[in-house]
């Protein structure tokens, strides 16, 4: 998701407004949820789900007072069915006076979340691994040529007694690139994490 998108579902007088946005941390999710609560202070519920990371292991679903698993889990289900990560979806409910039952709530929250996703643009981002390259001055021309040849960004560089450069390698070619770097004499690599 690139920016905030919305989806709406109406059932028996109740209105469900779904919001989907790119989101990369629990702290960022809290800030979005606070904003949505303020904007929709008259709504009865703000249920949500999020999922973060390359491995998609950080996730949460919240029913915000609705019956257990009737709101947050259906929203999370939409995130899973579209195979999305780094996303937050919130759905506010304006109560229309008629109870929908658990099945009706599941359908409503699912539909609002799905429409919010479909109204947005799903963007696939390439995944990178940060690495720190250690080398001596004699290897500098070879390392700099390697970085230029593979169009790697330089985030940080230090040229003191020994030299270091922090860059990132595309995950789909990182093993090949690391092996190529190791061929440069007296060059070592430290993995710093995936993003």
Q: What is the mean pLDDT of the chain?
A: 91
What's the token pair of residue 42?
């008259």
What's the sign of the alpha-carbon dihedral 163, 164, 165, 170?
positive
Architecture of domain 5-118: 2-Layer Sandwich (3.30)
Query: Looking at domain 128-194, does it have CATH number 2.60.40.10?
Result: no
User: Cα–Cα distance between 106 and 94 in angstroms, integer?
Assistant: 15
Q: What local confidence, expressed as pLDDT, does residue 88 receive?
A: 97
The predicted-structure confidence for 96-138, as pLDDT tens digits, reads as follows 888 999 999 999 999 999 999 999 988 887 778 889 999 998 9
Cα 152 to Cα 155: distance, rounded to the nearest angstrom: 9
3-state secondary structure 60-103: EEECCCCCCCCCHHHHHHHHHHCCCCCEEEEEEEECCCCCCHHH
Q: Is the pTM of this model over 0.95?
A: no
C-alpha 87/C-alpha 182 separation (Å) is 37
**Where are the domains positioned within the chain?**
5-118, 128-194
What the block records as the tokens of 185 is 């004499």
């Amino acid at each position: 998701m690139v920016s905030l998108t919305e989806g709406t579902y109406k059932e028996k007088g109740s209105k469900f407004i779904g919001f989907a946005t790119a989101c990369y941390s629990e702290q960022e999710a809290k800030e979005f949820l606070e904003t949505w609560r303020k904007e929709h202070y008259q709504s009865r519920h703000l249920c949500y789900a999020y999922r973060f990371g390359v491995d998609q292991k950080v996730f949460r679903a919240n029913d915000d007072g609705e019956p257990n698993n009737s709101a947050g889990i259906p929203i999370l289900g939409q995130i899973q069915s579209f195979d999305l990560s780094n996303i937050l979806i919130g759905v506010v409910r304006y109560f229309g006076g008629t109870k929908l039952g658990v099945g009706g709530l599941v359908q409503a929250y699912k539909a609002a979340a799905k429409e919010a996703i479909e109204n947005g643009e799903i963007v696939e981002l390439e995944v990178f691994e940060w690495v720190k390259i250690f080398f001596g001055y004699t290897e500098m021309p070879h390392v700099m040529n390697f970085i230029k040849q593979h169009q790697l960004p330089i985030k940080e560089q230090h040229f003191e007694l020994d030299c270091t450069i922090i860059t990132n390698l595309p995950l789909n070619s990182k093993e090949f690139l690391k092996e190529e770097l190791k061929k440069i004499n007296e060059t070592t690599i430290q993995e710093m994490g995936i993003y």
